[in-house]
Structure 1
Amino acid sequence: MKKGGCPLHVMRTVMLIIAIVLWATSPLAAAERLKLTTLHWPPYVEQTGEGPNTDTVRSTFAKAGMDVQVQVFPWNRAIKLAADDPQWVGVYPEYYSAEIDAERGGERCLFSKSFGNSPVGFLTPKGSSFDWATHDDLKSFVIGVVRGYVNEAKLDEMIAEGEIAAELAEDDTQNILKIAARRAEAIVIDKHVFEYLKAKDPGVAFVADSLEFHEKLLVNHGLYVCFENSAAGRSARDLFNQNLEKIPEAVATD
C-alpha cells in the first residue's frame, strides 16, 4: 500500500458498510415492511384492500425495493390509525386539504404527490329543481355528505359554519339511498364511485334510474397518500414521490 493511499477493494468495502449502517438507522428500516391503512372505496379500493389505487401504491414502493402491507378499516379509524399509531405509516386514497397538511400549518399528515384523480359532484333525483353556478346557490338546498369525508374546501367550510344544511351518511351507499328517499336534495359523490355502485350494489341499482349526476363538477380531486407527520412518514413520502415519477400511467393532477 502506498503511503496515504487505500486499495480500491478496501474503499468499496468501507462504502458498503457505511451504506448498510445508514439504511439500518433510517426511520424506514425499523419495520420489515411499510404498513398503510385504507378504506373500502370501490372502484379505487376493494374490501380486500386490492384495487387500482393499491396497485399503484404497491408498484411505486416496489420500485424502491419496499414491500407494502395494506388493511381496510372504516374511514375514520383508518385516518386515526395512520395519524396516531406508529405501526401504520400512512393512509390512502386521501383528498388534499391544507387544514391537515403538516407542511402548510396543519398537523395530521404529509401529502405525497398525486397518483390519481376523483371527479366529485352532485347526485340528484331526476327532474329535481337542483341547480347551481356558485357556492351561494347551494344555501337553498339540503346536501347529503358522508361523515368524515373531505368533499371540497369551500363547501365543507360553509357546512361547518352552518351556511349550508347537511344530511350525514356513514358511507356512499347510504348517501345514495338517502337521496333516492328524498332525505336531501343533492348528495356529494365521486362520479366513478356512483357508476361502480350502480353496477355492483343491488340496492343502488334499484334506485339508480331515478337519479342523475349533475353536469357541473364540484371539484376534480387529486388522490394522495397521507403519510404520518413523523420522520418515518417523511422518509416514506419522499421514497414514494421519487419513484412515482417513474410510473408513466400515474395521474398527477391536483
Structure 2
Amino acid sequence: MTRRFRVLLLLLCLCQVRGGLADSLPVVRLATLEWPPYNSETLPQGGVNTALVRAAFAAAGYRLEVETFPWSAAVYKGLHDARFDGYFPEYLSPAARRDCYLSERAGESPVVLAKRKDSQYPPVRGVSDLARYRIGVVQGYNNTEAFDANVARGVQKVDVALSDEQNLDKLAHGRVALIIIDRNVMAWLLANSPRLRGQEALLDSLRPPLQVQGLYICFKRDAHGQTLADSFSGGLRHVDVDDFTRRYLSALHK
C-alpha cells in the first residue's frame, strides 16, 4: 500500500468520526443520486466518487455531508435549496457551465453505447451515425454535448427511461436498439441488480467509448460556491484521482 493511499484512508476514517475535531469542521452539504459504483448509500463511503470527494474535502479542512435523491431532484436541490451547497457528479455541459461553479475533475465516466450481443451495428464514427436509431437515455441525464445537441434539434430520436436499470432492462427485452450508459454503472448493475439477473449474458457495450466524461461538483454560482470550489481544488491536489478510483473499484470487486 502506498503512503499516499494510506493518507487517503486515514482521511476517510477521520471523516467518519462523530465528535471531536471532525464535528468542529465546517460542513459542505451536497445532493447526489443513487448511481453505483460512483454514488450509493449501500457502498463503503458512499461509492467511489463520494469517497474521493470526501477525501479531498477532508484534506481541505471540511466535513462532507451528502443526501441522495432522484437525479432531477438532486440537481434542483443543489442549485436552489438553501440547505445545499451544490450537487454532484456532473458532466461538462452548456447548462453546467452556465449554472455552476464547477470543481476540477474528480474522476471520469466512460460513456458507452450498449446493445444486445445478438445485434450487429456498423462502427460508430460519431453521433451523426446514431441518427438512424432510437437510443435509450435516462431522463435528466447529460450524455455528450454533440448527442444532446442533436436531440435538442430533433435530429436524434430517443426513448426515455427513469433509470439506468430500466434502460438496461428495456434493451435486454428488445424494446430499444441501443442505450447510452456509463460502462462501470452497466457492469455494476448487471452484476448486482435482482431485476437484471441473467441479463449479463445478453448485453455488451461497443468500444471505444462514445466519450470519456469528467466528473465534477456543481457548486452554487455565488461567492460561497466559488470559495468551496477553490477549497476543493486545493484538497484535490492531495488525492491521486485515477489511483484512488482504481484501488477503490479493485477492492470493491474482490
If the TM-score is normalised by the length of the shorter chain, which range does it land in? 0.7 to 0.9
Preserved contact between residue 122 and residue 214 of structure 1 (Cα < 8 Å): yes
2:61 alignment partner, one of 49, 62, 65: 65
Preserved contact between residue 56 and residue 250 of structure 1 (Cα < 8 Å): no
1:99 Cα offset (Å): 3.1
Return 5+ residue gaps in structure 1 as ranges. Answer: 1-30
1:128 Cα offset (Å): 1.3
Q: Is the deviation greater in 129-138 or in 85-94?
A: 129-138
1:86 alignment partner, one of 82, 87, 96: 82
Q: Tell me the residue number matched to 1:98.
A: 94
| Whole-angstrom distance in 1 between the partners of 2:178 and 2:48 | 28
Q: Which amino acid aligns with 1:130?
A: Y
| Whole-angstrom distance in 2 between the partners of 1:139 and 1:36 | 36
SS of aligned partner of 2:239: coil
SS of aligned partner of 1:140: coil
Preserved contact between residue 117 and residue 251 of structure 1 (Cα < 8 Å): no
Q: Tell me the residue number matched to 2:9.
A: none
Q: Tell me the residue number matched to 1:163.
A: 155
Counting matched residue pairs gives 217
1:251 Cα offset (Å): 7.0
Preserved contact between residue 116 and residue 251 of structure 1 (Cα < 8 Å): no
1:64 Cα offset (Å): 2.0
Preserved contact between residue 39 and residue 73 of structure 1 (Cα < 8 Å): yes
- Please give the root-mean-square deviation of Cα atoms over the aligned residues, in Å: 1.8
Q: Tell me the residue number matched to 1:126.
A: 117
Query: Over residues 123-171 of structure 1, what are the superposed CA-to-partner deviations in whole Å (9 max), with x where a residue is unaligned?
Result: 1011313332222211110100000000000001111211111000001
Q: Give identity over the alignment, percent.
A: 34
| Whole-angstrom distance in 1 between the partners of 2:191 and 2:138 | 20
Aligned counterparts, 1:3-22, within 5 A = none
Matched, 1:227 2:182: no
Preserved contact between residue 36 and residue 90 of structure 1 (Cα < 8 Å): yes
Preserved contact between residue 107 and residue 241 of structure 2 (Cα < 8 Å): no
Q: Which amino acid aligns with 2:157?
A: A
Q: Tell me the residue number matched to 1:200.
A: 192
1:196 Cα offset (Å): 0.6
Aligned counterparts, 1:46-61, within 5 A = 46-48=40-42, 50-61=46-57
Q: Which amino acid aligns with 2:234?
A: Q
Preserved contact between residue 142 and residue 167 of structure 1 (Cα < 8 Å): yes
| Whole-angstrom distance in 1 between the partners of 2:127 and 2:154 | 13
Which structure has the larger Rg over C-alpha atoms? 1
SS of aligned partner of 1:178: helix
Preserved contact between residue 41 and residue 47 of structure 2 (Cα < 8 Å): no
Query: Over residues 162-212 of structure 1, what are the superposed CA-to-partner deviations in whole Å (9 max), with x where a residue is unaligned?
Result: 111100000100000111122211000000011111110122232221111
1:32 Cα offset (Å): 4.7
| Whole-angstrom distance in 2 between the partners of 1:249 and 1:112 | 13
Query: Hey, which bits of structure 1, 4+ residues long, moved more than 3 A?
Result: 249-252
| Whole-angstrom distance in 2 between the partners of 1:112 and 1:100 | 11
